[in-house]
Amino acid sequence: MNLFKSTIAGALGLSCLAMPALAEETIKIGVLHSLSGTMAISETTLKDTMLMLIDQQNAKGGVLGKQLEAVVVDPASDWPLFAEKARELLTVSNVDVMFGCWTSVSRKSVLPVIEELNGLLFYPVQYEGEESSKNVFYTGAAPNQQAIPATDYFLEELGVEKFALLGTDYVYPRTTNNILESYLKSKGIPAEDIFVNYTPFGHSDWSKIVADVVALGADGKKVGVISTINGDANIGFYKELAAAGVSADDIPVVAFSVGEEELSGLDTTNLVGHLAAWNYFQSADAEVNAEFIKAWKAFAGEKRVTNDPMEATYIGFNMWVQAVEASGTTDVDTVTAAMIGQTYPNLTGTTAEMLPNHHLTKPVLIGEIQADGQFDIISQTEPVPGDAWTDFLPESAVLDSDWPGLGCGMYNTETKTCVQIKSNY
């Protein structure tokens, strides 16, 4: 009997010793952003945003009674390395969720890994659409929430008649411009009035391209530039515009990948009046935005600015927290199901909702560059539901995405078939 009591006491003692270790267990969050290379100019800020959000949530007591732990890796603007780092996060670090990627080529690199290993990625940047994965929540803009409305603004408000579609040479600009070419032709713009050009990441010599754009207007027609140039190549592009004496009145530029962070490294004096299309600007007049900016500057420094992908990160992170708390677990399939229908206040004063196609509702904002590197918001819509598949490409117009309803992100409404693996809803 004494031996039995001794054994029980020992077991209880071991249980007590183990309890602090269990209490200290963390929920690991992978942060997959380039901290070096050509995309570091944009992505480093999103890494810092995640660290701030994790700190804030930990100060509230964490999630499910556990503290959150950031596991930060640097894919170094190397697209294949994104896949390697994602695999490392899931199999070595055992993260529960990942927030990351900027370029679509980096996301496409990661996609097979997270689908193979059933990981979960929140992708916070505007992109070309034409995708809906069970393992990804797309918290940035789809084309109908940025590219199409910006083109409409050029057509309807500025009277642009000729279009220069300038992009970095990878999947996002090429697919977006393919959509825009089709859209412009549907609006009566002839093919010969659409100039398309692609340059490598980090491109620096813009003199000939800017000269070609200027030459488009030799016949007196109004020319506008739609820019899907990414990363630090934007610095050289805008400097060449200024050097060529091109003002926004002459040839307006609307950019999809230039925000406050990119402008903070430029002399914006000669860029006043050029435009950007996003779903958020730091200048948004909303109390929740003022609080976010205050917290960001306290965390990162008074000179740091906010931008659209930061807001997309903020919304995605907080929706994930809500879904985990509602589920009582970080299990990917359970949390993924709980994400549909989640709502959270965005930073412009309205509310974002996660849709069955894993995209958000988002307002569309057009901002005009000011001398201080901020944007004057000159156009803003109510929240627009994100389309995974565009209506302006015939092969995509017949596709639908509905994960809880159809168990499919690529459902052909004509053949009534799904070409993706069905989910476990």
Above 50 in pLDDT, residue 2?
no
Q: Are 272 and 156 contained in the same domain?
A: yes
Above 70 in pLDDT, residue 11?
no
The pLDDT of residue 420: 65
Q: Are 107 and 37 contained in the same domain?
A: yes
Which band of pLDDT confidence, cut at 50, 70 and 90, is reported for residue 212? Answer: very high
Instruction: For 187-206, give one letter per residue: b (16+ CB within 10 A) or e.
Output: eebeeebbbbbbbebebeeb
Q: Are 210 and 90 contained in the same domain?
A: no
234 or 335: whose pLDDT is higher? 335
Does some domain include residue 303?
A: no
Does some domain include residue 91?
A: yes
Instruction: Collapse the DSSP code of 244 into the 3-class scheme (helix H, G, I; strand E, B; otherwise coil) and give the result.
Output: coil
Q: Are 242 and 344 contained in the same domain?
A: no
Domain assignment of residue 240, given as a range: 145-278
Q: pLDDT per residue over 50-85, tens digit each? A: 999 999 999 999 999 999 999 999 999 999 999 999
Does some domain include residue 407?
A: no
For 217-239, what is the mean pLDDT?
91
Q: Are 162 and 272 contained in the same domain?
A: yes
Mean pLDDT, the chain, rounded, equals: 92
Q: Are 263 and 156 contained in the same domain?
A: yes
Does some domain include residue 216?
A: yes
Q: Are 196 and 127 contained in the same domain?
A: no
Q: Are 246 and 317 contained in the same domain?
A: no
Q: pLDDT per residue over 234-273, tens digit each? A: 888 988 988 899 999 999 999 998 889 878 877 787 789 9
Does some domain include residue 270?
A: yes
The pLDDT of residue 173: 94
For 214-233, what is the mean pLDDT?
93
**How far is residue 348's CA from residue 361's CA, in Å, rounded to a whole number?**
13
Instruction: Collapse the DSSP code of 165 into the 3-class scheme (helix H, G, I; strand E, B; otherwise coil) and give the result.
Output: strand
Q: What CATH number does residue 233 fall under?
A: 3.40.50.2300
**How far is residue 340's CA from residue 353's CA, in Å, rounded to a whole number?**
8
Q: Are 266 and 163 contained in the same domain?
A: yes
Q: Are 118 and 160 contained in the same domain?
A: no
**How far is residue 362's CA from residue 364's CA, in Å, rounded to a whole number?**
6
User: How many domains, the chain?
Assistant: 2
What whole-number percentage of the chain has pLDDT above 70?
A: 93
Above 90 in pLDDT, residue 325?
yes
* DSSP class of 254: E
List the helix and strand counts (H, then E) for the chain. Answer: 14, 19
Domain boundary among 360, 381, 404: 360
Above 70 in pLDDT, residue 8?
no
Does some domain include residue 366?
A: no
Does some domain include residue 9?
A: no
Does some domain include residue 61?
A: yes
Domain boundary among 360, 379, 398: 360
Measure the N-to-C terminal CA separation of the chain; round to a whole number of Å. 52
- Give the bridge partners for 352, in sequence order: 344
Q: pLDDT per residue over 343-379, tens digit each? A: 999 999 999 999 999 999 999 999 999 999 999 999 9
Q: Are 159 and 104 contained in the same domain?
A: no
Q: Are 203 and 264 contained in the same domain?
A: yes
Residue 234: CA count within 13 A, CB half-sphere: 29
Which band of pLDDT confidence, cut at 50, 70 and 90, is reported for residue 232? Answer: confident
Of 308, 233, 310, 228, the closest CA to residue 265 belongs to 233
Q: What is the pTM of this model?
A: 0.89
- Give the bridge partners for 226, in sequence order: 165, 254
The pLDDT of residue 13: 42
Above 80 in pLDDT, residue 94?
yes
